[in-house]
Copies of this chain bind each other. A is one copy, B any other.
């Protein structure tokens, strides 16, 4: 069982009455909108009921991943937005991804590189020019197949793969994760004979981490995806009640909205393990794209502590009081290293000799909460039992549901992204795209 605890230690400082009393009515309406499918964006609620770990679909993803592991030393995942950020988050959290030279040796799983989420030539050239002695497989992920960043990256990678392996073998090394019935990528797959996995029609990109979109790359990287899904199931049961006093997920959504109404326009997601960097990017897309519309929305930003206490920490402590923090803390990281003694105590730190680094990290965490709250910055806390698949699955679901509810409380549709089209239209005009409607 996975355990995640939400808390708000200095609540009384920022809201004196009964938060549940004030918000329960709105929460009930938002909850009904989600669970009865009567809210805005009701065609995109497929994530609400997590995929069963024992389903045929999960078995199929695992088989596909096994095949990739047999074929390849490296998996190139081509996708943008929700088509890469969730998998990246999970892999960085649960494998020692910071130290790429050593991953394959240690875990015996292919290394996963993400491409197609930018238009940088040097980025793609650097990856491809360094795969000489590696066997390669590709997972291209796109609902439409025409989003320009992944579509161009796929053209380049496919061309490279064909030159290396020949057309027939190349096709056997490509898995397309795409729409079940339509789109350019599905057509590509049919013509060239790629294996395919399905992006459910009723799940938007930023809610797709626990579908084939995120599950295949995570499975290839060696994560136990059934456990991820069990964690999401834990969460779906635990956060099923509309009662704010009982539902930690909804409490988080309510606090965000309360603080936003009080002028807290920036939310800082803070973590004390650097492995959360990719997770923070996933979270920023989830909330930024879901809420940033109609002139509304909290600006989602992230920090790594204690690193950034020597950077943005000054701003948090003494800058404008327009922000709040959501702090992630892992209770059991499963790793410790002891501080050695030094003869002569040259740096005056022998009082910590024999103590663990995690012990010190915990004091930094507690000391920072106290410091920031005394500086009038509200801190919302999310304590995560440990860093394993079950807890990470739980955490993904926690934020997905909190985001959906939070969007409804804010009065926006948390499932659309109309503003993403604007730059594309200008770009197509500049690129001279044929048949473009003026």
Contacts and interface: CB of A to CB of B under 8 A. Distances in A.
Contact of A348 (B146, B294, B318, B357): B146
A319 to B, nearest CB: 3
B320 A296 contact: yes
B99 A127 contact: yes
Interface stretch (A2-10, A47-55, A370-378): A370-378
Interface string A316-340: 1111111100000000011111011
A414 to B, nearest CB: 11
Given A289-B311, A367-B427, A427-B367, A317 B361 contact: no
Interface stretch (A31-39, A180-188, A220-228, A248-256): A180-188
A420 B367 CA distance: 12
Interface stretch (A11-19, A151-159, A233-241): A151-159
A432 interface: yes
B422 A317 contact: yes
Contacts of A368: 423, 426-427
A309 B120 CA distance: 14
A106 B132 CA distance: 13
A427 B371 CA distance: 9
A97 to B, nearest CB: 9
A101 interface: yes
Interface in A350-386: 351-352, 356-358, 360-361, 363-364, 366-368, 370-372, 374-375
Interface stretch (A20-28, A58-66, A266-274, A397-405): A266-274
A151 B347 contact: yes
B292 A187 contact: no
Contacts of A117: 307, 310
Interface size class for chain A?
A: 35 or more
A145 to B, nearest CB: 5
Contact of A351 (B154, B155, B371, B432): B432
A158 B334 CA distance: 23
B357 A152 contact: yes
Interface string A133-164: 00000000000011011011011101100000
Contacts of A85: 311
B319 A296 contact: yes
Residue picked from A340, A357, A366, A424, most chain B C-beta under 10 Å: A357
Nearest to A295: B320
A301 B418 CA distance: 23
Interface stretch (A195-203, A211-219, A280-288, A388-396): A280-288
Given A80-B306, A313-B419, 19 more contacts: A98-B127, A99-B130, A101-B130, A106-B130, A118-B306, A120-B357, A146-B348, A149-B307, A154-B347, A155-B349, A184-B346, A188-B346, A291-B319, A313-B423, A360-B431, A366-B426, A367-B425, A371-B425, A372-B423
15 contacts: A100-B100, A121-B336, A146-B347, A148-B364, A152-B349, A155-B349, A184-B347, A292-B315, A292-B317, A293-B315, A314-B419, A360-B427, A364-B423, A367-B430, A371-B423
Which 8 pairs from chain A and chain B are nearest by CB? A292-B315, A367-B426, A317-B419, A81-B310, A292-B319, A367-B427, A285-B311, A119-B361
